[in-house]
A and B are shown apart, each in its own frame.
Chain A
Amino acid sequence: MAETGDFNRRDRKSHPPAFTPGYKTSVLRAPRCALVSVEQGVGEKAGPIFVPRGGLDPLDNDLIRNFSQGGEAIGERIVVHGRVLDEYARPVPNTLIEVWQANAGGRYRHKNDSYLAPLDPNFGGTGRCLTNAEGRYFFRTIRPGPYPWRNDGSDWRPAHIHFSIFGEAFVQRLISQLYFEGDPLIPLCPIVNTIPDPAAVDRLVARLDMGQQMPFDALAYRFDIVLRGRRQTFFENKREGN
């Protein structure tokens, strides 16, 4: 295994803290002790190449069709695309992105979701794709609806798509949520508001991208993702550079 540089420290001011009482479930699920800062070992600086056994299915990144029972999903047809970069703006190629979301009415296809809005028989709500050599990815889906949840009375989540990214190392692992430009529910949401920095919230908002629409088919949203950057190893035998 090639000797490689450490990854930048995670800037925890960009991330939500663990204890955010406005989001009630965090109250009993937040550690009270401080995190213990440690150096990165060879294991943490490596990471799984998690290409699912048997590889990806051609429809894995097409949520409009990958749960088809004979028809297509109902809702606002969109393409979500972007690049995965590290903090030094280097592309992260060949990394797995997984997404999941509710349907156009805000209903999840999950055994624990009992929201009264109906399931869409042609919509499953799960997809995945790999970034290409330039770090680019895209998937096709329908825009998810908002949905109510039990927090402070009936709060409503903004339309959102959950996403999960592996990167090249276990320390780059990230799960987050994509929101949509202009959604007035964004500033009201206790989960969005776990992030203290408004500029950081803004980085979770996908932008309408008319230039990448599919004419007479689907609108497009652009969403770039930034993972922790890997530094050079100064003063050691350098086997890679930037």
Chain B
Amino acid sequence: MPVAYLKETPSQTAGPYVHIGTLPAVAGLPVRSQENLSVLASGSVPGERIRITGVVWDGAGHPVKDALLELWQADAAGRHDNPDFPGFGRAAADFATGAFSFETVKPGALPWRDGRTQAPHVCLLIFARGINIHLHTRMYFSDEAEANAADPMLKSIEHAGRRTTLVGERGTEDGVVTYRFDIHLQGENETVFFDV
């Protein structure tokens, strides 16, 4: 018999009312002080201010209007231990349009375990009704083509054509630098999801 350890608690869907517990104001609950967790960068945090925006699409091409996204990223210097920059954000899809957005800074490059460098990226988790265990993906930046080409995580995706599903497209929106990142849960242009 192999050595036995405790087993991880199984996942279940977050369900359609996930906002009650995670973003109460979105559910219509005035329980707590208003937390705007989709804004990561405030005050004098260094780095280029950016907006990440997109829609999560289902396999029939319809927006997932009850999705909850969580974002985790390094600061502009590529660090995860900056006390002035939490690196964590949470955003709900809009109930009418499905659009989500984060206001943050562009992260710096991070070291990889063998000394190589990872291209700037943000980690994203997607939770929703109908998603039994959350999906883990990454968004890279379209203006970092050289770094992206050398990124060890992107290179581990066997089908090179799928790597582009992880690149957010740079543009501007209301004068703000915006990266558009749509997530396709299923079918054509299906986003790469990781088992990390």
- Chain A residues closer than 8 Å to B35, beta-carbon distance: 52-53
Residue positions of B touching A, CB distance < 8 A: 5-22, 24, 27-29, 31-33, 35, 58-60, 62, 64, 66, 70, 72-74, 79-81, 86-88, 95, 110-113, 118, 123, 125, 127-135, 152-153, 156-158, 162, 185-187, 190-196
Stretch from A110-118, A130-138, A180-188, A213-221 at the B interface: A110-118
Q: What are some 14 contacts across the A-B interface (CB < 8 A)? A: A12-B195, A14-B10, A23-B132, A26-B132, A38-B195, A42-B111, A43-B110, A43-B123, A87-B6, A110-B16, A110-B19, A177-B13, A191-B12, A203-B7
Shortest B165–chain A CB gap in Å is: 10
A109 with B118: CB separation less than 8 A: no
Shortest B29–chain A CB gap in Å is: 6
Q: A35-B195, A36-B156, A41-B118 are in contact. Are A89 and B6 (CB under 8 A)?
A: yes
Q: How far is the CA of A193 from the CA of B18 in the complex (A)?
A: 20
Nearest neighbor of B36 in chain A, beta-carbon distance = A53
A204 with B123: CB separation less than 8 A: no
Q: Is the interface of A mostly helix, strand, loop or mixed?
A: loop
Residue positions of A touching B, CB distance < 8 A: 1, 8-12, 14-18, 20, 23, 25-33, 35-44, 46-50, 52-54, 57, 60, 66-67, 85-89, 98-100, 108-113, 124-128, 162-164, 170-171, 173-177, 191-192, 194-195, 197, 200-201, 203-204, 225-229
Q: How far is the CA of A126 from the CA of B30 in the complex (A)?
A: 11
A195 with B6: CB separation less than 8 A: no
- Chain B residues closer than 8 Å to A18, beta-carbon distance: 131-133
Shortest B123–chain A CB gap in Å is: 6
- Chain B residues closer than 8 Å to A124, beta-carbon distance: 20, 24, 29, 31
User: What is the total of A-B residue contacts with beta carbons within 8 Å?
Assistant: 247
Instruction: Give the residue among B20, B28, B123, B135 with the most A Cβ atoms within 10 A.
Output: B20
B17 with A100: CB separation less than 8 A: yes
Q: A38-B196, A42-B110 are in contact. Are A66 and B31 (CB under 8 A)?
A: yes
Q: How far is the CA of A25 from the CA of B16 in the complex (A)?
A: 11
- Chain A residues closer than 8 Å to B157, beta-carbon distance: 36
Q: How far is the CA of A40 from the CA of B153 in the complex (A)?
A: 9
Q: How far is the CA of A97 from the CA of B110 in the complex (A)?
A: 29
Shortest B96–chain A CB gap in Å is: 12
Q: Select one of B95, B131, B135, B153 contacting A26, CB under 8 A.
A: B131
